Amino acid sequence: MKKHSVTIAGHRTSISLEDEFWQGLKALADSRNKSLADIIRQIDKERGINNLSSAIRIAVLDYYKSQIPQEDALPSLSASQ
C-alpha cells in the first residue's frame, strides 16, 4: 500500500491505495478522458460518508464490474437476501 498526495478543493490530502487500485483508477480516468485529479474530485464529491480511499476502491470496482458482460456477471449479494 502506498500513500499518494493529491489536492482536493485547495487542500492537500493523502490517499492510501494498493498499487492495483491506483492502476485501476488511472484506467478509469483514461476511459473517461479525464485527469486523475478530475476523477478523484468527482469521487470525493459523490462519496457521501465513506472515506476517500474506500470510495476510490468502490469506484474502481464498479468500473471493472461494468466491463463484464451481464451474462457473465455474478449475482449481486442483495439479490440473494
Domain extent at residue 62: 2-67
Closest CA to 37 of 9, 16, 66, 62: 9
Residue 81 pLDDT exceeds 50: no
Structural domain contains residue 77:
no
Q: Which three cell numbers stand for residue 46?
A: 459523490
More confident residue, 72 or 15: 15
> Within a domain: residue 15?
yes
Domain count, the chain: 1
Question: Secondary structure of the chain: what % helix, strand, coil (to 5)?
Answer: 55, 15, 25
Element (H, E) at 57: helix 52-65
CA distance 32 to 26: 10
Q: For residue 75, tell me if it sits in a domain.
A: no
Q: Which CATH number does the domain housing residue 59 bear? A: 1.10.3990.20
Residue 9 maps to a domain: yes
Q: Residue 74 falls within a domain, yes or no? A: no
pTM: 0.79
Give pLDDT tens digits for 16-45. 999 999 999 999 999 999 999 899 999 999
